[in-house]
Structure 1
Amino acid sequence: MPGGRPRSFDVDAALDRALEAFWRQGYEGTSLTDLTTAMGINKPSLYAAFGNKEELFGKVLARYLGGPGAYVDEALNAATGREVIERLIHGAIDLTAGEGTPHGCLCVKTVQASGPEAHAAHRDAVAARKAGEVALRKRLEQATDLPSRHEPATLAALVHTVSDGIAVQAAAGRSRAELRRIGNLALRALLD
């Protein structure tokens, strides 16, 4: 039985372009026309290769977490709890206010601006955020160098809150230098 026509486009390149479109405009702000234009394919090719918009977003979210968002896993492997938190805060700044990337965070944008038709994307973005916070809490439970006044679950939630705030501020136009000053102040408040 024939397998159909071979794809005439690079799937990885198309996913990268879809990632950028979703990252710039958020899930709901990105139409199918935006996606097909960015990806350089037509709608039938999008559906055949990636499924519907929700399924494409799921693939893009995984690509984001394993690509630009990989700094989180790297930070969790730092030697000390202090280094973990510093790398997470600085990584959030670099990711969300970096040169050549959309400003803001794909997950935060999706969680903030999601109506009923974006339920699956919202759920997936929230799940990714929660999984990151759980992983951070577990790592902080192992740390012996952090101030004893901090309970790991609350500290993990606070670090995520600061990171999310950084992403919102980056999307609103704050410069990397401004965010670095804000992040450093947050680190002193958390760790001193």
Structure 2
Amino acid sequence: MGTKQSGPVGRPRGFDADEALERAMLTFWEHGYEGASLATLTGAMGISAKSMYAAFGNKEELFRRALARYTEGPSAYLARALEEPTAREVAAAILAGTVRTTTRPAQPHGCLGVQGALAASAAGSDVRDLLAAWRNDGCCRVRDRFVRAREDGDLPPESDPVLLARYVTTLVFGIAVQAASGVDREELQRMADAALRTWPLC
């Protein structure tokens, strides 16, 4: 007597989801959220629209996953920079990491988190808000590190960690925009070095 099957055996997905997400991240990075059409995304990912929806959900969900990948990959320099021993070294590492990441020849220039949806239609407003929150989270992490630096005596007692964090992140965003406009790595690094010359010392 034959054994009863519990159901059909699922077919393999037929593509590498990790590689597809990497390509989606690069496409959003290059074109922005609204500039990356479904056809452009699926073409870059090498899959059909049906497969994309089945594996990643809708376009917004795909973008959220691409942003998470960007945070853990190209933008991971921020987490490493926060471990530097002094506030000045933290700022220097953040700026240097931004310059490197936004000007690599083999990937889009600029920053996905900055240019992904600065301006968006009503349909893209949730992604615009997502990226605003992403940028603010980065600023808050820098602020908390500078608060600790002041408590440790690494920054002068009169220094303002909130203002310093906003200063550094504003420089980061400016570097990203300039890199996307074609300004080369050496010039951007010189600008970062010049900004650090005014760093408050104890």
Q: Which amino acid aligns with 1:27?
A: Y
Q: State the partner residue of 2:146.
A: 140
1:128 aligned partner? 134
Unaligned runs of 5+ in 1: none
Question: Matched residues, percent identical?
Answer: 47
1:47 aligns with 53
Whole-angstrom distance in 2 between the partners of 1:191 and 1:38: 46
Matched positions, count: 192
2 CA distance for matches of 1:7 and 1:93?
38
Offset of residue 191 of structure 1: 4.3
Query: What secondary structure sits across from 1:28 in the alignment?
Result: coil
What's the counterpart of residue 196 of structure 2? Answer: 187
Report matched runs for 1:74-85 at 5 Å.
74-85=80-91
Establish whether residue 175 from structure 1 lines up as the match of residue 181 from structure 2. Answer: no
**Matched residue, 2:35:** 29
Aligned residue identity for 1:88 = I
- How many Å separate the matches in 2 of 1:146 and 1:111? 35
Give the Cα separation in 2 of the matches to 1:188 and 1:75.
18
Task: State the match for 2:3 in structure 1.
Answer: none
Separation in structure 2 between the aligned mates of residue 108 and residue 148 of structure 1, nearest angstrom:
32
Deviation at 1:125, TM superposition (A): 1.1
Could you say which structure has the larger radius of gyration? 2
Aligned with 2:162: secondary structure? helix
Using structure 1 for the length normalisation, give the TM-score: 0.95
Aligned counterpart, 1:166 = 175
Q: Deviations over 1:11-59 (max 9, x none)?
A: 0000000011001111111000010000000000000000010000000
Displacement of 1:115 in angstroms is 2.1
If each structure's helix is expressed as a fraction of its own residues, which one has the higher value? 1
Q: CA deviation at 1:113?
A: 2.9
Alignment RMSD = 1.4
Q: Match of 1:67?
A: 73
Q: Structure 2: any 5+ residue segments left out of the alignment? A: 1-6
Which residue of 2 is the match for residue 119 of structure 1? 125
- Relative CO higher for 1 or 2, CA cutoff 8 Å, sep ≥ 6? 1
Contact conserved, 1:26 with 1:113, CA < 8 A, in 2?
no
Residue type of the alignment partner of 2:178 = Q
1:16 partnered with 2:22: yes
When structure 1 is superposed on structure 2, of 141-150 and 118-127 the one drifting more is 141-150
